[in-house]
Structure 1
Amino acid sequence: MRKSSGNITSLSNKTNIQLELELYKKILHIFQIGEYYHYTTNQNNEISFMHPDAVKVLGHQPGFNQEFFFKCIHPQDTEHIIRFKDQITNFRQQLSVKKVLKYKVQYNFRLKKANGAYIHILHQEIPIEITDDGTITQLLNLDTDISYLEPHTMPTLSFIGLENQPSFLEISQDKSLEASKSILSNVEKEILKLMMQGNSSLEISKILYRSKFTIDTHRKNMLIKTQSATTAALINKALKENWI
């Protein structure tokens, strides 16, 4: 395990304006579709900031901590989350200090709202502050409600590489990490991203300066290539496997 030197050499040494710009750059790496909220945690895994949207999405009163948050996870998913936390720690410890900031972690689970109903959460996290020895002192977390795309599936863990780093998708507990490759072309990814933003084929054709027929053809091909029966299923796979 790395020992912290206490010398923070990244984002925290910048001005507030620079820090805010860096934060927005990080958020751009985290795709949001559906209701979501974000929060930050420190090196002691304590919540250092919680956006007010968490109250709107979950219904819980503001001021809840990590212990309360963990108790809201579905009992059948808690074992997976505990295992994921260990795998995340092990993965980050194998990275060089420079690469720690270049990986987003992603997993899904069920979370209980204040009214007792469970929603399907896609959790994404990425470091925003780190010491010169690789210790993460601030972590940006974003939780998106994807219940309308898929009520629930078995929780899976992925490590998403940024800035041309390889990605490792749906990590198995027993297998070694193998870099994953996207099955979609760059054009298809661009179209898919616009689809996820709610654009129709006609609107996409105008944005990309292509014919509607071409866009429709790409959409059909994506369904076939990904073995998706519907557009919703395609989007759900794209979120989980980070195709965009």
Structure 2
Amino acid sequence: MKIRIYEETRKVWNILAERNDPPDLALEMELHKKVLSFFQVGACYYFIFNAVRGELDYMHPGVSEVLGYNADECTITEMMSRIHPEDVPGFLEFEQATVDFFSRLPPEKVLKYKARYDLRLRKANGEYVRILQQATCIQHDETGAVLRTLCVHTDITHLKPTGRPVLSFIGLDGEPSFTNVEIRKTLTPSREVLTKREKEILRLVLASMPSREIATHLNISKLTVDKHRKNMLKKTGIKSAAELVVKAVKEGWV
């Protein structure tokens, strides 16, 4: 079963299959810490995916805390074999849509997007958890073809215990986002609910950072931070910060 899923997914990745191996990439831990600070809405781990080889270059040992497996057990085929059977068709469709999306981007914009979707993975004890996968390109060639991606897996079972998996492409550095993407339909930018500054603050709220620390981090006053937080609640019709966090994760706003 796991080999079949892997072979089907490799067909999707074949757009890169004939390229030479990507050059070595040195990633410092501080980069990981910076990226991970945006995703701490639950227990998480991360890995580096080599799109050319269809293999994992690195798996963070934190996977043992989330799923109960040792990092050295986590090959790409093993990870795919742990997908809930009902989520396998959607996983293949999401991967195809993601490859299509990044293939259409001009080279200068490949690093300005992250793909995110959720699916259920089986833990070592046999239980299933809902994982939010967020992937961003960290290395591409001169044509913009993706060579390596950094993927973060976050346990969001407490935020989304049930429901249909959804796919979104989140624009960074002012690029438009495409949320709750309908597969095989023309992409049109979704209406941006939050401003760029509000998204910055929301990401830090998701990282459990209090308003005073957010103000210091962004070099603005705490009063300004509090004003932005109130505006976000008003614009979204949500009554509390906790509800805002849940809605942001479900809707793919950040």
TM over 0.5: yes
Residue pair 2:212, 2:222 contacting (<8 A) in 1 also: no
Q: Structure 1: which amino acid aligns with 2:60? A: H
Q: 1:222 aligns with which of 219, 226, 232?
A: 232
TM-score when scaled to structure 1?
Answer: 0.79
User: Displacement, 1:174?
Assistant: 4.4
Distance 2:44 2:126 in 1: 18
Question: Is 1:31 aligned to residue 39 of structure 2?
Answer: yes
- The number of aligned residues is 236
The SS at the match of 1:77 is helix
**Amino acid across the alignment from 2:221:** Y
Who is 1:6 aligned against? 20
1:102–1:162 Cα contact (<8 Å) kept: yes
| 8 Å Cα contact 2:117/2:132 also seen in 1 | yes
Distance 1:163 1:74, change over 3 A: same
Once the two structures are aligned, what percentage of the paired residues are identical?
Answer: 38
Say if 2:221 is the partner of 1:209: yes
Equivalent residue in structure 2 for 1:86, among 88, 96, 100: 96
Separation (CA, whole Å) in 2 of partners of 1:7 and 1:202: 46
Name 1:173's counterpart in structure 2: 183
**Aligned structure 1 segments of 4 or more residues deviating by more than 6 angstroms:** 201-207
Residue 69 of structure 2 aligns with an amino acid whose one-letter code is H
Which of 148, 153, 157 is residue 163 of structure 2 equivalent to? Answer: 153
**Aligned mates of 1:55, 1:180 — CA distance in 2:** 36
Q: Which residue of 2 aligns with 1:44?
A: 53
Cα drift, residue 239 of structure 1:
2.7
2: distance between equivalents of 1:110 and 1:41?
19
1:124 counterpart letter in structure 2: Q
1:24 Cα shift?
3.9
| Aligned partner of residue 140 in structure 1, secondary structure | strand
Unaligned segments of structure 1, at least 5 residues:
none
Q: 1:224 to 1:150 in 2, by over 3 A?
A: farther
The one of 140, 144, 147 aligned to 1:130: 140
Match of 1:72 in 2: 82
> Are 2:248 and 1:238 equivalent residues in the alignment?
yes
* Counterparts in 2 of 1:29 and 1:93: CA distance versus 1, 3 Å: farther
Contact 2:21-2:53 within 8 A present in 1 as well = no
Instruction: Please say if residues 149 and 233 of structure 1, whose CA atoms lie closer than 8 Å, have aligned partners that are also in contact.
Output: no
CA RMSD after TM alignment: 3.2
Q: Distance in 1 between matches of 2:127 and 2:204?
A: 31
Contact 2:170 2:177 in 1 (8 A): yes
In 2, are the aligned partners of 1:30 and 1:124 still within 8 Å (CA)? no
Q: Indicate how the Cα distance of structure 1 residues 184 and 198 shifts in structure 2: closer, same or farther if over 3 A, else same.
A: same
Moved more, 53-62 or 201-210: 201-210
For residues 195 and 102 of structure 2, what CA distance do their matches in structure 1 show?
A: 29
Contact 1:39–1:47 (CA under 8 A) maintained in structure 2 = yes
One-letter amino acid matched to 1:38: Y
Partners of 2:143 and 2:17 lie apart in 1 by: 7
Contact 1:129 1:139 in 2 (8 A): yes
Distance between the aligned counterparts of 2:242 and 2:56, measured in 1?
A: 33
Partner-residue secondary structure (3-state), 1:101:
helix
- The alpha-carbon deviation at position 188 of structure 1 amounts to 4.2
Counterpart secondary structure, 2:202: helix
**Deviations 1:58-107 (Å, cap 9, x if unpaired)?**
00233221222112111221111110011111112212222222221110
